[in-house]
Structure 1
Amino acid sequence: MSKLQDFQKLVISNAANATGLKVGDKAPDFILPNALGHLIPLSDCLKTGPVVLKFYRGEWCPICNLDLRNFQQYINQFNTLNTKIIAISPQKPDDTLTITQKNELGFEVLSDSNQDVIKAYNLQFNPGEDYHQRRDLSLENGDGSITLPVPATFVIDTDFTIIASHVEANYTERMSPSEVLKVVQEMN
């Protein structure tokens, strides 16, 4: 096994306890700043339809960028179904502006720089000392912390009920836009 595969296994094992919220749980409400510093409440977003809530590690993560760009390709289908997409990372609003512009995203990218929402959704974990030797998360995260969210996707109904949940310690595995669209279509 390669050193990279060993490293990935270690990070994945460190994330095993961050299991996220489950289908049927109530999604905690929040108010977070977007890339321009405007405060966005989840409750306001749910007034017009379901929300697809995506937690990602940061603009520095190539897999996260690919995942967000994949969802951008389906933005018109989500809009047609009155479904908003919201992405959240532990970075500062300036960094969320970078990812929004770099990936030409047409949905809200929010900053949870103190990781309160990440904790409320049971996604926060410490990737371990080996990881910290490779990447200084204190320079990436808005609050200078060394923790990350497990990448996750939640589909939340207008009454805050989680209809679908994909939380995976293996950060290379994500719920696809087509899978999420299927869930939203079945809700309608």
Structure 2
Amino acid sequence: MISLMLLFLAFFAQIPQDTAPNQDIPRLKEGEKAPLFKIEDVYGKQFKLKKILKSNEKTLLVFMRHAWCPVCNLRSHELIDNYKNLQAAGYEVVVVYESKQEALLRYVEDHQLPFKVIADPQGLLYKEYKVERNAEKLKASLKRKETLEHIEKGKNMYKKEFKSYMAEGESVDALIPADFVLDHKGKIIKAYYGQYLDDHLPLEELVQTTLQDTNSH
């Protein structure tokens, strides 16, 4: 935990004192068409979002930080534990990490991630989906008791030391996660932009909403 906090502190030392959150950050909105993309997945195979959308009732598209970020590891395990329930509710899950492919592949294999995984170290998809980098939100996150507890929990869930999933040149940044629920035509049903490092769309909400919709018909 100490080594991880040192990484955060080193990052904070580079933040200008007058840094302020951008109140006019563009966001994708519900009802809009999601940006479609073609890219290689973590295994080097061609991935077409349009094909995934057509093959599933809904798609949960998740934008994470690096795979060595403990709160992302915690979220990854939540997705692992709930993957079958999400599939039963009509979802496919696609997760984008800002990690480099080689390091991310080590993480995927060690933790046996069952869902679709994409490495986007250049942040191209993050830009398309308006995922923000916000130093103020990062600092606010580390003042929250819940976030600190999630960092510790996520760190303890790694199969190996978290640094083993770091690639050369990677360091802590201010990326804030985001989740999107897309229908089979690519329309955004839900756009969820986090307020903290560990702020994601509750998975129980997705499953319960689907069950309620099914029972109402």
Normalised by the size of structure 2, how large is the TM-score?
Answer: 0.67
Q: CA deviation at 1:15?
A: 7.3
How far apart, CA to CA, are the structure 1 residues paired with 2:69 and 2:22? 16
Does 1:162 pair with 2:192? Answer: no
Deviations 1:95-136 (A, max 9, x none): 2212312332100110122211100100142648x99xxxx9
Does 1:176 pair with 2:202? Answer: yes
How far apart, CA to CA, are the structure 1 residues paired with 2:107 and 2:204? 22
Q: Which runs of 5+ in 1 are unaligned?
A: none
Does 1:68 pair with 2:76? Answer: yes
Deviations 1:14-37 (A, max 9, x none): 576656422112110012222211
Choose from 47, 54, 58 the match for 1:40. Answer: 47
Does 1:88 pair with 2:88? Answer: no
Choose from 170, 181, 195 the match for 1:140. Answer: 170
Local SS of the residue matching 2:78:
helix
CA distance change for structure 1 residues 137 and 26 in 2, over 3 Å: closer, same or farther?
farther
How far apart, CA to CA, are the structure 1 residues paired with 2:186 and 2:213? 14
Q: CA deviation at 1:38?
A: 0.7
Q: CA deviation at 1:137?
A: 9.3
- The residue number in structure 1 matching 2:59 is 51
Paired residues of 2:100 and 2:167 also in contact (CA < 8 A): no
How far apart, CA to CA, are the structure 1 residues paired with 2:188 and 2:118? 19
Choose from 94, 119, 124 the match for 2:127. Answer: 119
**Identity over aligned pairs, percent:** 23
Q: Which has the higher helix share?
A: 2
How far apart, CA to CA, are the structure 1 residues paired with 2:191 and 2:60? 10
How far apart, CA to CA, are the structure 2 residues paired with 1:165 and 1:183? 15
Does 1:104 pair with 2:134? Answer: no
Q: CA deviation at 1:165?
A: 1.8
Q: Which amino acid aligns with 2:30?
A: V
Q: CA deviation at 1:92?
A: 1.8
Q: Over aligned residues, Cα RMSD in angstroms?
A: 3.4
How far apart, CA to CA, are the structure 2 residues paired with 1:13 and 1:180? 33
CA distance change for structure 1 residues 69 and 148 in 2, over 3 Å: closer, same or farther?
same
Off by >6 Å, runs of 4+ in structure 1: none
Paired residues of 2:65 and 2:72 also in contact (CA < 8 A): yes
Paired residues of 1:126 and 1:148 also in contact (CA < 8 A): yes
Q: Which runs of 5+ in 2 are unaligned?
A: 1-7, 140-165
Normalised by the size of structure 1, how large is the TM-score?
Answer: 0.76
